[in-house]
Amino acid sequence: MRQVLRQHPALRDDIGDLTTRRPLPSRDLPQLDPFLFLNHHGPQVYAPGNHGLPFGPHPHRGFETVSFILRGEMAHLDSGGHESVIGAGGVQWMTAGSGLVHAEISPESFKQSGGPLEILQLWVNLPARLKMTQPSYTGLQRADIPAIAVPGGTVNLISGDFEGQSGPYVSLNGVAMMTVELEARARLTLPAPSARTVFLYVVAGEPFVGGTSCREAHLIELDQGGDEVEITTQAPVTLLYGHAVPIGEPVVAHGPFVMNTREEIHAAIEDYQAGKFGAIAG
């Protein structure tokens, strides 16, 4: 069984009126290869007549963004012509690849009526061979995601395999990703293949991981000492859990671009400024 090495707190970094905490990157953990970045927005309640999410059109190149809508809803538009509104329990998985402009905003109905909102956004790196791949987008509603019953809870399987089932999203780079909801006094063993990096973020509650008490809103860094992770609970817990093969390549990041060299970053900026990423219609 894998054991806990360190716990990294999600530090507060609000974006306007959007409550935001971020455990990755941090001073002690610049990346968890291939996982680059996690923002935890909310939980909070928006009043009627709000301005909604602040993420208007902006570019990306060289990696993937995965957004988990835990409460509320989020609209997606991008320069590839993709458009959707995903509700609570759904996921938006976008491969920026060679370059895309997208917006993540609140639909008009949410801005008018308000309501609860909680969203996680994870950035997943791509290896050099895939950084300039064709951009793509997949929007999954809660009903599209298998809810696998486990003793004392549920595993919502987005990508990869678990208990003989496969998630609906097939990752370019073999990333497995799921959310886990456990009740009090639950015990669950999750796969953690020894050659892979495990991503474990405690969204809510205080689980025991490999026997170690872990804190809410902390990223849990694990050792390489096994191929499984044991989770136990005394009270309800929600986790974001995944695993992937580390890429092991140089990472050069500049704002919304993640490449392997400084020269590739300059090229991304020039291509974006030249309009090569396209624009969102309307």
Phi, psi of 58 (to 5 degrees): -155, 155
Alpha-helical segments (H) within 70-226: 108-113
8 A C-beta contact, residue 229 and residue 193: no
pLDDT at 282 over 90: no
Query: What number is the average pLDDT over the span 159-163?
Result: 97
Q: Name which of 275, 265, 244, 258 is nearest 95 in CA terms.
A: 258
8 A C-beta contact, residue 82 and residue 103: no
Tokens for 134?
A: 């064709």
Strands 257-259 and 212-213: unpaired
H/E stretch holding 48: none
Which amino acid is located at 199 in the chain? F
Q: What is the pLDDT of residue 141?
A: 98
8 A C-beta contact, residue 219 and residue 191: no
The CA distance from 280 to 282, in Å, is: 6
Query: What number is the average pLDDT over the span 41-64?
Result: 97
Q: What is the pLDDT of residue 260?
A: 98
Query: What number is the average pLDDT over the span 7-11?
Result: 98
Residues near 179 by Cβ (< 8 Å), separated by ≥ 6? 68, 70, 155, 156, 158, 203, 238, 239, 240, 241
Percent of the chain whose predicted confidence (pLDDT) is above 90? 99
Percent of the chain whose predicted confidence (pLDDT) is above 70? 100
| pLDDT tens for each residue of 81-110 | 999 999 999 999 999 999 999 999 999 999
Question: What are the residues facing 148 on neighbouring strands?
Answer: 155
H/E stretch holding 63: strand 63-71
Predicted TM-score (pTM) above 0.85 = yes
Phi, psi of 79 (to 5 degrees): -75, -5
Can you tell me whether residue 119 is helix, strand or coil?
Answer: strand
The CA distance from 209 to 189, in Å, is: 10
Q: What is the pLDDT of residue 281?
A: 82
Question: What are the residues facing 218 on neighbouring strands?
Answer: 9
pLDDT at 156 over 80: yes
